Amino acid sequence: MLNKTVIVTGGNSGIGKESVLALCKMGANVVIACRETAYGNEKPVAEVIGEIERLVPGAQLSFLPLDLASLASIRNFAALFTKRHAQLDVLLNNAGVLSMERKQTRDGFELTMGTNHLGPFLLTNLLLEHLVSTPNSRIVNVASKAHSNGKLVFANNTIETRWPYTGLSAYADSKLANIYFTQELAERLAGTDTTVNALHPGGVATNIWPDPGGIMGIIKRRMIKNLNAPEKGARTSVYLCSSPETQNVSGKYFHKNKPLLPSSRARDKSIQKKLWQVSVVATGLESTLF
């Protein structure tokens, strides 16, 4: 990864932070893309950068603000990045949320779908020209095994939130969207040397799981003790970002560095293509590169 430029969304905590650390150790020039203001138990991004620089002296590490729940923020990030960097070898779409209450993004989308799918969809498309012009570039999307419980419903050319709303269902729907997006983009990128793959990181103890407090909070904290540490959860992300074994692999879904077949619902081509069309309209893309 020496001299390769990598963007890691949500690189200030959890799996993202561990991915940044591992890639810095490999010599990559890593751009942490996250919100400027720390959220929940997150540390300020400047503190995270300081920690990594102490662990990896000479680390090539920088920060650019990005809020995936804001289309304007995504556009600003893409403009700043392309102005400052001549190449983009890897885009690791790692950041994600899980909201137990129904909330909206600044643009009026349901928060989980807006942040976990529409945000990365727009970001990737805005950076696609930079990626395709960089030899052997890669896009890595952190999805989840939860996608098997997802279901996408469309109404009035939009993604409809399932009713009654539950946080876990919304999360599963967004992760299913990640799989569809990966597969459709891989088809569109055929004939280029840019690849895109998705992965399940495993059950990982990160800040994505909200603390409801009370008895449910106690149960949640006990469950977390049985989950993997973020470092272990980052291994497949780092593998897909860096391994020579996956240089020419595209459109696949991985777990523990091995390709797996996603759920049968995730292989529905008609929904895959419908989601792309709806996402283009929702994010205001006038056109896509492919």
Catalytically active residues are: 171
Cα 18–Cα 21–Cα 26 angle in degrees, nearest 5: 130
Instruction: Quote the CA–CA distance of 117 and 39 in Å, as a whole number.
Output: 20
Instruction: Quote the CA–CA distance of 270 and 265 in Å, as a whole number.
Output: 11
- Measured N-to-C along each axis, helices 14-25 and 45-55 cross at an angle, to the nearest 10 degrees, of 40
Instruction: Quote the CA–CA distance of 118 and 60 in Å, as a whole number.
Output: 29
Residue type at position 80 = L
Q: Using CA of residue 99, residue 100, residue 105, residue 109, what is the dihedral sign?
A: positive
Instruction: Quote the CA–CA distance of 289 and 61 in Å, as a whole number.
Output: 29
**Cis previous bond, 164, omega within 30:** yes
